Structure 1
Amino acid sequence: MQARAAEDLKKRVTDGLVEAGLTYAGAAAFSTPRRLTLALEGLLAESPTVREERKGPKVGAPDKAIEGFLRGAGLTRDQLEERDTPKGAVYFAAIEKPGRPAAAIIAEVLEDTVRNFPWSKSMRWGTGSLRWVRPLHSILCVLSDEAGATVVDLDIDGIKSGNTTHGHRFMAPDEIIVTGFEDYAAKLKRAHVVLDTAERQQAIWQEATNQAFARGLEVVEDKGLLAEVAGLVEWPVVLLGDIDAEFLELPPEVLQTSMKEHQKFFSVRNPKTGRIEGFVTVANRETADQGATILAGNQKVLSARLADAKFFWANDLRVAKSETGMAAWAEKLSNVTFHNKLGTQAARIDRIAALAREIAPVVGADADLAEQAARVAKADLSSEMVYEFPELQGLMGRYYAEAAGLPQEVANACEMHYSPLGPSDDVPTEPVSVAVALADKLDTLTGFWAIDEKPTGSKDPYALRRAALGVIRLVLENDVRMSLFAVLKEQANEVAEGVAGVENQLFIQSGQAEELEAEFIKNMGVEDILAYLNEKDELEEGDRKEFEQGISFLERISDLLTFFHDRLKVFLRDQGIRHDVIDACIAMEGNDDLTLLVKRARALEDFLKSEDGENLLQGFKRANNILSQAEEKDGVEYSYGADVKFAEDDSEKALFAALAASEGAISTAIEAEDFAAAMGGTAALRAPVDAFFEAVQVNSDNEVVRRNRLNLLSQIRKVCGQVADLSRIEA
């Protein structure tokens, strides 16, 4: 909360001062466990005088209107000025607001800031009404210039401002009088308080690494823990301790997690063995015995914690090595609810195992190993160690799978199937791990979409955006080729069939199912599809509800695919690919093959950066605009019938030839998924398209020639449209 509070203090005070007309040159905020500080430089001595002019009623207006205007302006009638305007004589008032001293403005702004500070949690104490994160003891508010320092007069719930503070709570508790920020920071440091959080972090890390290096060890880097510990102390004193030998055989991750979560200790590793052999704790004071008593107390508490971890480890290993092995833990998950609408963890594991087996050939994994890995990947959730340290799930699964003698690919999948957890997390590359990781995330997404529990706005309680990004990264970084829509549809059916109470779980089971899906994928809505079937006399009255439910289910899966596309846009935008380029590729057939989609998008992005690409895009848009306007005006679609025999100009004939040559080259390249070559074939159209528009007027007076040229424009749209929907590209 400290870093956020420092920024909030800075923003609220500076915004308030500027709004009141008091500008400044620079601002910096600082925080410690016991103080929140803001320093401003170059502050004006007073706010400038502001002159405001207001237009009033017309001369001769009713007295009540004029008196109301005078009251609002705070003036008398003799202070009004008459001016001629196009609408006649009008009264104007010149209102002058004199500047105010900086101290008066600061007092108002600071009091408002303190009373309305946006703490996420706050408390009230004593008999006052003030709320703060902890009881507020003092307010130091000093305004200094060349002439000296003055205290800004302020009283908030009986806490009066002054020019005094106190140093370290134990090492220098006496009162300190300050005259300005530099004096304040210097005197605090002499009083054993390091004001700057970054300076405390640097001091902790430097001393910790120096002490570890002196003993041939190294500190395990943890930036989050470093920031947290720096927020717990004002005068950091680094102490290096040893872990008892009886705990050194515990997995290093167990030692790290226990020390970090319970004690806020840094782990110290032996680089030769990789074992965690020591710890670093940060005290808040210096002692006569150089921290020996503090260190001894910490070691005693740590030994008790690690004794628990050792007990859990021994018990879990005994189960993993038993005859039943990890299967005993997996059976317990039948009593663990994953979600009240989606059943138990055991039911979910059955679905994941089946899906992992289906995905395995696609990612080059052994189907039996993929299913086996999926069935034990979450077994460690029943272990004592993971119950105590949930953050170790997956990792402990690998240790227990190895202890149980399972294949190494299975053990690795236990650890890696949760990955990637974020945009910077490593992506599994081992085929079995990829299969299980994909199955896990796809089942989560299809399950929550099936019960209509999608992310809304900034709320995403089940981390579904993260799961979708994980699928995208797994697919792209492992070059996985699959129809995502088909996988999502089949898995959603598995969810619907296995879980009672899922709405719209009835899927289309009829002779027209494939045909219906094909039409649905063309973005036809429910009513459109029903009308389509009615026209063909293939929808009996009793089947209407069944089809409506089936189509609704398909709509949810299509919506989930759109969700993937939205996540993909964010992912690719960070890699420099424009959103409209992605939209142009999503509009193409096969947009549920993410690897193919991204391959097309990258090629299109590169093409549009070239001179040929940019010029051809302008030619395409010109052709598309002329054609669209003509089709709307004439009420017909010019999509066929262009014939070279009606061509009147050489440029027109050249364009016919170029389109004929390019169409075949582009389609051949696209079939081979060589999108760079396809873009190159499109680039060959640039010159003939440019020449055509320079030499020819499309809307000729000769109606036959006009229709032929419009059909030729349609041919341009068709040929260029093979690579992407260029109409979606922004000019």
Structure 2
Amino acid sequence: MPDLLIELFSEEIPARMQAQACADLKKRVTDGLVEAGLTYASAAAFSTPRRLALSVEDLTAESRAVREERKGPKVGAPDKAVEGFARGAGVEVSALEVRDDKKGQVYFAVIERPGRTAEEIVAEVLEATIRNFPWPKSMRWGAGSLRWVRPLHSILCLLTDEEGARTVPLEVDGIAAGRETRGHRFMAPDAFSVNSFEDYEAKLKRAKVMLRAEERADMIWNEATNQAFALGLEVVEDRGLLAEVAGLVEWPVVLLGRIDNQFLDLPPEVLQTSMKEHQKFFSVRNPKTGRIERFVTVANIETADDGATILGGNQKVLSARLADAKFFWDNDLRVAREGMGPWLESLSEVTFHNKLGSQRDRIERIAALARELAPVTGADAIEAEEAARLAKADLSSEMVYEFPELQGLMGRYYAAEAGKSDAVAAAAQEHYQPLGPSDAVPTSPVSVTVALADKLDTLTGFWAIDEKPTGSKDPFALRRAALGVIRLVLENDLKLSLNEYFHSSFWWLLNEGRGNWFEEEPKVTELTSGDVEKQVFSVRAESLLTFFHDRLKVYLRDQGIRHDVIDACIAMPGNDDLALLVRRAKALQATLETDDGENLIQGFKRANNILTQAEEKDGVEYSFGADRKFAEEGAEVALFDALDAAQAEIDPAMAEQDFGTAMTAMAELRGPIDRFFTDVQVNAESTVVRRNRLNLLSRIRTICLSVADLTRLDG
């Protein structure tokens, strides 16, 4: 069984495209081979800046012959139908066979496809892959019609078995497949031939090309950290940059450079960002001071002077870049030390959304909401309001204009330079968090307050203008904002009513003249002039709270909480208090994971079903009046006692929001309820006894539904 080796050799492939191109090459070729009837043992794809390569091991030498029988129209069918069937089957009409069928005679086509050699199939599949390769961007060159990410120079395509290596006959747009490739552009530019994948990889390495991206990355990281360690320094880890740099070089040469002393007082994040974005340099930090003092660059060539010329040139370019950064920093510091007023004023000219006003308008809303939220989060209201007013001031700074990814972080530096408290400065950076499911959640009360206000204003604002996420579309990241609120509330154990703050935000938006409040709302009926805003707000708040509940279900599902458990708790009063809702859900889930809890649910459902059927039949509601004196059976009396005891525990526990105690007490009803249904006939002949027993079932329903809506549980 032969092994297949493919290489597509071109001008430099952008580093960001290489990993996906490897995956696409592997999938398209192997899928095509399998569809054509070939099998293989394993496949692996590789990339360097100038080549994509694929190795397929133990490929079958040829596909099997195939014989297929296809049933067609009845004999006597219109000629066009018969001709169409024959054409679709790829046979002549005269070759069709007539066979007896249950409903008469029909035509059958016998299709025989002989096996094909691997060479023939590989050539066909590879040509289709090259011509239809899904590059994000591609180009044409010269007079040809082929499109590739960069001009394609050569195709290597070999099948190797015990008899040796043979080239697969293939030509694409004038490029004939062969068995030759080239090494490093400068250090080993001559062509050489290969016989197998092992021979290919070994000869490439001798020609100064490391084929495997992970090997290049490991080499870069190990050499960089070793050089830094020798000077008592450490390389700042950046896996994304490491992967990108590994895609820029075929033969990495790691060089350690020095940053000019005049730039060492810049914030380390500024140095790191500038070097990464503009130069693709790694930052090297002094662990004793936390300052970025050196950099690592990766060259693609070995030089006689051990990279001194390359390093010198890089240091000159870096100094020019950092001079710009220092200019921005010095200018920004002057504004910050004067209170950041000009930045705040300029935000009046920055539109947040054409229907929601400027960034300055938004800041005013966030500040007002932060002041309201402060008592809940434990923050000082004045400090929280000040933090909210300053948190986005750095959006107008020169540094953030140059490096938008530093927003928030630079705000922290500037707030500290303005003499603000540590809490206010921290809020400038932390109020954006959490940015995703793995991002940290702020814990400082002021930061939590501003983060909540920021996200709640975003959500209520877009709900006010009816710009909600639809399907997979969420252009304003509202799902992320809702998840951020959920995590801020739960991970800081905050007790707050979301509806209260929805209404506050809606009022401010209405007073600013923002939002389409009085368009037709299907749930708002019989409005009076004094109730219009209140009722419309309630409709919007209900919609937004449902959105939060949907996000909460996703969040809790990842923590193992059943969806029906969440639904059972959402149906209870106070469902806009997320911390309360989650404590209830976790307590119910824990109860259901016990035998008593699971069996109690079955007992409750049995009681509820009997009671519901009786109420429908009798046209009355059995909701009160169960009296112990009408109890005739021991199990009946025992259930009265158990319900009394459970209620005595459940009522105070629910008042204290101690759901664990309440649900444990509820679960203890399992035994008395089981015995009641075993020993007692609910539909007794005596009307008085029957009514009393139905009212007793009503007590079961009432007590159980006081902790959660158990009717929403599955099973």
1:504 has 2:517 as partner: yes
**Displacement of 1:693:** 3.6
> 2: distance between equivalents of 1:305 and 1:78?
77
1:51 is aligned to 67
SS of equivalent to 1:160: strand
Identify which of 169, 177, 187 aligns with 1:161.
177
Provide closer, same or farther for how the CA distance between residues 591 and 170 of structure 1 changes in structure 2, counting only shifts above 3 A: same
Identify which of 233, 236, 242 aligns with 2:252.
236
Deviations 1:470-523 (A, max 9, x none): 1111111111110011111211221222144x211699xxxxxxxxxxxxxxxx
Provide closer, same or farther for how the CA distance between residues 699 and 253 of structure 1 changes in structure 2, counting only shifts above 3 A: same
Identify which of 554, 558, 561 aligns with 1:577.
561
Provide closer, same or farther for how the CA distance between residues 213 and 80 of structure 1 changes in structure 2, counting only shifts above 3 A: same
1:691 has 2:675 as partner: yes
Identify which of 187, 199, 217 aligns with 1:183.
199
Provide closer, same or farther for how the CA distance between residues 441 and 69 of structure 1 changes in structure 2, counting only shifts above 3 A: closer
Q: Work out whether residues 188 and 207 of structure 2, in 8 Å CA contact, stay in contact via their aligned partners in 1.
A: yes
> 2: distance between equivalents of 1:701 and 1:11?
74
Identify which of 396, 402, 408 aligns with 2:416.
402
SS of equivalent to 1:296: helix
Provide closer, same or farther for how the CA distance between residues 42 and 694 of structure 1 changes in structure 2, counting only shifts above 3 A: farther
**Displacement of 1:97:** 3.1
> 2: distance between equivalents of 1:644 and 1:92?
82
Provide closer, same or farther for how the CA distance between residues 612 and 99 of structure 1 changes in structure 2, counting only shifts above 3 A: farther
2:372 is aligned to 358
1:389 partner letter: F
2:299 is aligned to 283
TM-score calculated relative to the size of structure 2: 0.91
Q: Work out whether residues 98 and 105 of structure 2, in 8 Å CA contact, stay in contact via their aligned partners in 1.
A: no
1:728 has 2:712 as partner: yes
Deviations 1:291-335 (A, max 9, x none): 11110011000000111111111111122223xx21232122112
1:587 has 2:600 as partner: no
1:339 has 2:323 as partner: no
**Displacement of 1:62:** 7.8
Provide closer, same or farther for how the CA distance between residues 381 and 709 of structure 1 changes in structure 2, counting only shifts above 3 A: same
Q: Work out whether residues 264 and 292 of structure 2, in 8 Å CA contact, stay in contact via their aligned partners in 1.
A: yes
> 1: distance between equivalents of 2:170 and 2:696?
80
> 1: distance between equivalents of 2:153 and 2:511?
63
1:515 is aligned to none
Deviations 1:605-653 (A, max 9, x none): 2222222222223333444445556666776655455555665544344
Provide closer, same or farther for how the CA distance between residues 205 and 658 of structure 1 changes in structure 2, counting only shifts above 3 A: same
Moved more, 565-574 or 355-364: 565-574
**Displacement of 1:170:** 1.4
1:457 is aligned to 471
1:266 has 2:282 as partner: yes
Identify which of 541, 547, 569 aligns with 1:557.
541
Q: Work out whether residues 342 and 499 of structure 1, in 8 Å CA contact, stay in contact via their aligned partners in 2.
A: no
> 2: distance between equivalents of 1:585 and 1:609?
16
Deviations 1:435-457 (A, max 9, x none): 11111111111111111122222
> 2: distance between equivalents of 1:670 and 1:55?
71
> 2: distance between equivalents of 1:200 and 1:700?
83
> 2: distance between equivalents of 1:385 and 1:705?
82
- The 5-angstrom pairing of residues 541-690 of structure 1 reads 543=529, 551-628=535-612, 638-640=622-624, 642=626, 649-690=633-674
Identify which of 230, 238, 241 aligns with 1:225.
241
> 2: distance between equivalents of 1:458 and 1:12?
27
1:109 has 2:125 as partner: yes
Deviations 1:135-192 (A, max 9, x none): 2222222222222222222222222222222111111111121222222222212211
1:514 is aligned to none
2:426 is aligned to 412
Q: Work out whether residues 496 and 505 of structure 1, in 8 Å CA contact, stay in contact via their aligned partners in 2.
A: no
Provide closer, same or farther for how the CA distance between residues 326 and 139 of structure 1 changes in structure 2, counting only shifts above 3 A: same
Q: Work out whether residues 585 and 724 of structure 1, in 8 Å CA contact, stay in contact via their aligned partners in 2.
A: yes
2:399 partner letter: M
2:391 is aligned to 377
SS of equivalent to 1:126: coil
Provide closer, same or farther for how the CA distance between residues 257 and 71 of structure 1 changes in structure 2, counting only shifts above 3 A: closer
1:591 partner letter: N
Q: Work out whether residues 25 and 40 of structure 1, in 8 Å CA contact, stay in contact via their aligned partners in 2.
A: yes
Aligned residues: 698
Identify which of 23, 29, 47 aligns with 2:39.
23
Q: Work out whether residues 123 and 132 of structure 1, in 8 Å CA contact, stay in contact via their aligned partners in 2.
A: yes
1:715 is aligned to 699
> 1: distance between equivalents of 2:300 and 2:610?
75
SS of equivalent to 1:461: coil
1:391 has 2:405 as partner: yes
> 1: distance between equivalents of 2:205 and 2:614?
78
> 2: distance between equivalents of 1:698 and 1:53?
67
Provide closer, same or farther for how the CA distance between residues 271 and 550 of structure 1 changes in structure 2, counting only shifts above 3 A: same
1:487 partner letter: Y
2:386 partner letter: Q
**Displacement of 1:218:** 0.3
Deviations 1:199-254 (A, max 9, x none): 11111111100000011100011111111111111111111001011111111111
For the aligned residue pairs, the C-alpha RMSD in angstroms reads: 2.7
> 1: distance between equivalents of 2:442 and 2:112?
69
SS of equivalent to 1:228: helix
SS of equivalent to 2:517: coil
SS of equivalent to 2:142: coil
> Percent identity, aligned pairs only?
70
> 2: distance between equivalents of 1:659 and 1:10?
67
Q: Work out whether residues 96 and 107 of structure 2, in 8 Å CA contact, stay in contact via their aligned partners in 1.
A: no
1:329 partner letter: W
Provide closer, same or farther for how the CA distance between residues 648 and 117 of structure 1 changes in structure 2, counting only shifts above 3 A: farther
1:555 partner letter: V
Moved more, 590-599 or 605-614: 605-614
> 1: distance between equivalents of 2:112 and 2:105?
23
Deviations 1:259-307 (A, max 9, x none): 1111111100011111110000111111111111110011000000111
1:4 partner letter: Q
Provide closer, same or farther for how the CA distance between residues 7 and 642 of structure 1 changes in structure 2, counting only shifts above 3 A: farther
SS of equivalent to 1:495: helix
2:343 partner letter: W
1:127 has 2:143 as partner: yes
* Structure 2 spans left out of the alignment, 5+ residues: 1-16
Q: Work out whether residues 587 and 725 of structure 1, in 8 Å CA contact, stay in contact via their aligned partners in 2.
A: yes
**Displacement of 1:130:** 2.3
> 2: distance between equivalents of 1:639 and 1:125?
83
Provide closer, same or farther for how the CA distance between residues 660 and 106 of structure 1 changes in structure 2, counting only shifts above 3 A: farther
Moved more, 547-556 or 676-685: 547-556
Identify which of 197, 201, 216 aligns with 2:217.
201
TM-score calculated relative to the size of structure 1: 0.89
Q: Work out whether residues 75 and 98 of structure 2, in 8 Å CA contact, stay in contact via their aligned partners in 1.
A: no
Q: Work out whether residues 493 and 505 of structure 1, in 8 Å CA contact, stay in contact via their aligned partners in 2.
A: no
1:438 has 2:422 as partner: no
2:570 partner letter: I
Identify which of 376, 381, 384 aligns with 1:367.
381
2:226 partner letter: N
Provide closer, same or farther for how the CA distance between residues 623 and 118 of structure 1 changes in structure 2, counting only shifts above 3 A: farther
**Displacement of 1:94:** 4.8
**Displacement of 1:702:** 7.0
2:507 is aligned to 493
Q: Work out whether residues 417 and 433 of structure 1, in 8 Å CA contact, stay in contact via their aligned partners in 2.
A: yes
2:23 partner letter: E
> 2: distance between equivalents of 1:176 and 1:321?
65
Provide closer, same or farther for how the CA distance between residues 277 and 682 of structure 1 changes in structure 2, counting only shifts above 3 A: same
**Displacement of 1:691:** 2.7
SS of equivalent to 1:141: strand
> 1: distance between equivalents of 2:589 and 2:244?
43
